[in-house]
Structure 1
């Protein structure tokens, strides 16, 4: 059902590219690339629980509404709410044939039951009748379902009976043409709605993959497993997991597993290098975020990671030809994987963060080899609605495996829960109660000023639309607030957290 509908707007036919299972990033990017076809975009989400509740993309000028689940941000439901906004075609058959204009208006009603039954989809099992919620209303709703698609017909409540022949009833004057159409994954709407936002999507996150050779695209990442000691595992849709070992995985290894990056950037700006943990007695020691047993906490200071809305003179885009010639890569650069939801920092090998004390993962005993460039940091983007970098990456989901029980912290966990667990894990490694207090003290990032550390810090983002102090606006020139987020550091991990407790970005180093 996903790719079988064509919609004609303004005399131009355009195939509906938003297949079920597509990521919010993929769909929103496509919609925004056609402003004449989709002139209005309305995104609705929960400001308090943006990662748990559905995200709704409304296209009022097109009569469409798209619903995405919150945790994975994948398209679960496509609804046509206004049939007058475009000519809908299914397998070269006009869905609206037989539609009527409402008396006194130019609004085109949807298809009638006879057209759906005789011309489009044929016989169906009985549907579901929903009585009117308003006692004064004369019409309820009869939902007629086919595999993957359903129609809603207004039906006179007085005409309804459980013993009625639904075909005869919907063919009579008691039923009006359909007011909406829904596209979903499932054999019927009653069966699908109970697991609409939780079942495994049938199709991939990128619509382009559906109709093309799978070998032409890198396999999509389902989950990043953070094992500790600089070891990560990328769980993939169709292929075995891919391993990333900080300080050992090379740029060529990265490309072999995940394809070429969407962009490569290097950056010279080090305006917040004062905040690096430099050991005892220095300014950096006083300002460091948290202790890092075994390695020393370092605040990353060389990011581009595509989060900046404005590129300053310190940012340089590297030629894609550098990918095939590793000797031409700069000593420090970022591989930006927008469609995978992460960035990789490429530099000379450094010692990664320590293993979790509760884990059986062992730390590498090999010393870094300076001549060869490797991946030294992985930046996982949450794509949280309302944050400053929203829709620059698709959402990356992750799990932190603190021990072998499998009960780890996830990208959907509130940061209060994450912080509590990590502080418990590292409590025996703190040298003093002061270090324990420091671990709970965040650094604040301001995304509202163009000359702030936002343009050089490794975690960028966190402009929230609403806060406890009132509404904010995004980076559109309206000063609704500073848009601050907070950085919390733990050994080998750095979290950027929004005011609502959602993790906007996680760096593993």
Structure 2
């Protein structure tokens, strides 16, 4: 027996528990916690443009959630199969039931609740769209104009009020909104220095400068809040590549502050409790670390051409490895090491499970076989 899915419409803002502007990481994390209510979720994306592909979460059988390509923010919510009883759907607007097992939502019912709108095959309001097609295949095709008052609504779409859900807006980024407050808008990386974090709301938030060797664990807690996890450093497999004194390295301890909600990790030194390493994650679909971290929109900043240059060159998370590598070192790329994060997870099947680590002076890039950089490590 399926439990009833009861959702309320908030034009331009959301539907039920889903809020326009929410991050992909946040929504999937919430769906995992509510598996009893949403047992089947499919993730669809274009593997050929994995770094900037729009992503669709198909929450069977009623919901399609479209996320923007670069910032992975919930752009459009589509509710469909209103009459499918598995599970039954109750659709509400404020205190009014629009659709249920006993109430069919028709064109006349929409007009009575939301008022007049422009003529057309669909009914469009700011941040809200009622469609009489089962899917979007016929959208944009010429067909006889039909305004039958008894037409049954097949789909309901919610997007920001800046657009009306038309197909040509589907690939746009989500405009900054209150739902993003406290999230990182972008992270500017400087090798041998650290990272500057710019938070939402961008107009009023002060940037946070986290410096390697100076920023303390207490500073991170004050500025970013407590980490979701504190992980004590146990994996010493990379120590074999170290040129440091082995006995001294064995005495060195440290622990990680994992900010999954920001796409960041910080390695803190044991004795002084200052930041030793910073790891920024790209959350690339199909990669081994996909969805463990929220996407951090990082940019690697180079040196300005002269003292008056206030726009130094930068390379971003969606640039291909070859471009970023040449930016960091115009010479040949350094030798790489193979890393398979699925070695200890036999049941995990991925198209590109292995990545390669490319080390430069003060920075390490983790790269997929398709030349996408999935993480950046500063040290």
Where 2:322 maps in the other structure, the secondary structure is helix
1:111 maps to 105
For 1:27 and 1:442, locate their aligned partners in 2 and report how far apart those are by CA, in whole Å.
35
TM-score by length of 2: 0.83
1:31 maps to 31
Is contact 1:341-1:396 (8 Å) kept?
yes
The count of residues paired between Structure 1 and Structure 2 equals 350
Is contact 1:145-1:188 (8 Å) kept?
no
Pair 1:263–1:199, CA change in 2 (3 A): closer
For 2:111 and 2:361, locate their aligned partners in 1 and report how far apart those are by CA, in whole Å.
62
2:231 maps to 265
Q: Does 1:145 find its partner at 2:138?
A: no
1:444 maps to 338
1:125 maps to 118
CA deviation vs aligned residue, 1:393-451 (integer Å, no higher than 9, x gap): 11111111103333310011111211122222xx5xxxxxxxx4xx432111122322x
Would you tell me which structure has more strand in proportion to its own residues? 2
Note the 1:171-320 alignment, pairs <5 A: 171-172=148-149, 176-189=151-164, 193-194=168-169, 197-205=172-180, 219-238=182-201, 239-278=205-244
Pair 1:233–1:187, CA change in 2 (3 A): closer
Is contact 1:231-1:245 (8 Å) kept?
yes
For 1:481 and 1:258, locate their aligned partners in 2 and report how far apart those are by CA, in whole Å.
35
For 1:186 and 1:382, locate their aligned partners in 2 and report how far apart those are by CA, in whole Å.
29
CA deviation vs aligned residue, 1:175-196 (integer Å, no higher than 9, x gap): x312111100125526794375
| Residue 198 of structure 1: how far off its partner (Å) | 2.3
Larger Rg: 1
Note the 1:461-500 alignment, pairs <5 A: 475=345, 477=347, 483-500=353-370
For 2:37 and 2:101, locate their aligned partners in 1 and report how far apart those are by CA, in whole Å.
25
Pair 1:60–1:195, CA change in 2 (3 A): closer
Is contact 2:334-2:360 (8 Å) kept?
no
| Residue 122 of structure 1: how far off its partner (Å) | 1.0
| Residue 97 of structure 1: how far off its partner (Å) | 6.2
For 2:72 and 2:225, locate their aligned partners in 1 and report how far apart those are by CA, in whole Å.
22
2:317 to 408, 411, 414: 411
Note the 1:255-404 alignment, pairs <5 A: 255-278=221-244, 331-347=253-269, 372-404=272-304
Q: Any gaps of 5 or more consecutive residues in structure 1?
A: 1-8, 101-109, 128-141, 161-168, 210-218, 283-299, 302-329, 349-370, 428-435, 451-474
For 1:482 and 1:195, locate their aligned partners in 2 and report how far apart those are by CA, in whole Å.
28
CA deviation vs aligned residue, 1:290-310 (integer Å, no higher than 9, x gap): xxxxxxxxxx99xxxxxxxxx
Pair 1:373–1:414, CA change in 2 (3 A): same
Once the two structures are overlaid, the 10-residue window that deviates more, 91-100 or 483-492, is 91-100
Where 2:28 maps in the other structure, the secondary structure is helix
For 1:498 and 1:55, locate their aligned partners in 2 and report how far apart those are by CA, in whole Å.
19
Q: Any gaps of 5 or more consecutive residues in structure 2?
A: 9-15, 305-310
For 1:229 and 1:447, locate their aligned partners in 2 and report how far apart those are by CA, in whole Å.
27
TM-score by length of 1: 0.63
Is contact 1:112-1:177 (8 Å) kept?
yes
Q: CA RMSD in A?
A: 3.0
For 2:63 and 2:191, locate their aligned partners in 1 and report how far apart those are by CA, in whole Å.
44
Is contact 1:22-1:203 (8 Å) kept?
no
For 1:240 and 1:482, locate their aligned partners in 2 and report how far apart those are by CA, in whole Å.
39
Is contact 1:98-1:115 (8 Å) kept?
no
CA deviation vs aligned residue, 1:124-156 (integer Å, no higher than 9, x gap): 1234xxxxxxxxxxxxxx222101100112599
Is contact 2:356-2:366 (8 Å) kept?
yes
| Residue 203 of structure 1: how far off its partner (Å) | 3.6
Note the 1:14-29 alignment, pairs <5 A: 16-29=16-29
